[in-house]
Amino acid sequence: MKILSNLHTHSQFSDGKNTAREVVEAAVEKGFTVLGMSDHGYTDFDFSYCMHGERLENYKPTIRALQEEFADRIRVLCGVEHDFFGPDFAHEGYDYFIGSVHYVIGNGIYYPIDESAAKTQACIDDGFGGDTIAFCRSYYDSVVKCAQMKPLFLGHFDLITKHGVPDESDPRYISLTLEAMDAVLETGVPIEVNTGAMARGVTTAPYPSSFLMRRIAEKNGTVTLGSDCHDCTKLDYAFDVALDCLRNSGIRSVLVYDGTQFVEQGI
């Protein structure tokens, strides 16, 4: 079974390697039926990888033009990956938005939690007095609130684990993470199974971790696949691995976007 739809992709409008046109062309080449562009929405505290200035102004018109130009070959959508700490209005006017948390605020400073283990540790030390669990609690509080904003789906639930901090076998971590997962599932928002860190060679399994996938299965939650693509040669990177992980966790279907809505597809 092949998934020929991906709503989590980045281009040079934010921190992706390719132009939006190259990403669309790669999707057509792969036989995709639906492609959602979802460059990083505006955040006023960090310009290093979000859309801002001219790029932000040109994004929607460019994607709309590609949508029209490629309409007979693929359904292109103009989405955005909205960061939880971005301004409320920043996700408006798009076909959809992904809700994601990329930062934890420590001592008034926004720390990106997906950059490096050292940066994550600096946030724990400077912002939480070395208390890793308090740091995790702050992150997952934001994740739950992000889901409550009702995005089309919630991006990379446990991104905080990307660089091996915190220890996922700590019972306190497991307990607070499951609690957050339950609260997210209560919103009914689909959870993304994200292969982005696998594509970068950082991890060998998708987000979320297997114990969380099992929780989703137990509670009959819904999931969708996203490659968080920053390189158009990896548009559906490790989707087969992600599907295996889902099956092994007891999940029997994924949501696939058909151009206007999510439809359930058995796996």
81 belongs to the binding site for Zn ion (CB under 5 A)? yes
Angle of helix 171-187 versus helix 210-218 axis, rounded to 10: 40
Residues contacting 89, CB < 8 A, separation 6+: none
Of the candidate spans 61-69, 79-87, 166-174, 183-191, the one that interacts with Zn ion by CB under 5 A turns out to be 79-87
Considering beta carbons, is residue 119 or 214 the nearer one to Zn ion? 119
Q: For 165-228, give the DSSP string.
A: -S-TT-HHHHHHHHHHHHHHHHHT--EEEE-HHHHTTS-SSPBSPHHHHHHHHHTT--EEEE--
Among 228, 243, 255, 257, binds Zn ion (CB under 5 A): 228
Considering beta carbons, is residue 11 or 100 the nearer one to Zn ion? 100
Of the candidate spans 19-27, 96-104, 119-127, 165-173, the one that interacts with Zn ion by CB under 5 A turns out to be 96-104
Of the candidate spans 92-100, 129-137, 207-215, 238-246, the one that interacts with Zn ion by CB under 5 A turns out to be 92-100
Among 11, 14, 100, 132, binds Zn ion (CB under 5 A): 100
In the block, residue with structure tokens 């990896």:
234
83 belongs to the binding site for Zn ion (CB under 5 A)? no
Q: What is the dihedral of CA 245, 192, 136, 169, to 10 degrees?
A: 0
Q: Provide the minimum distance between the beta carbon of 192 and Zn ion in the complex, in angstroms, as a whole number.
A: 9
In the block, residue with structure tokens 């989707």:
239
192 belongs to the binding site for Zn ion (CB under 5 A)? no
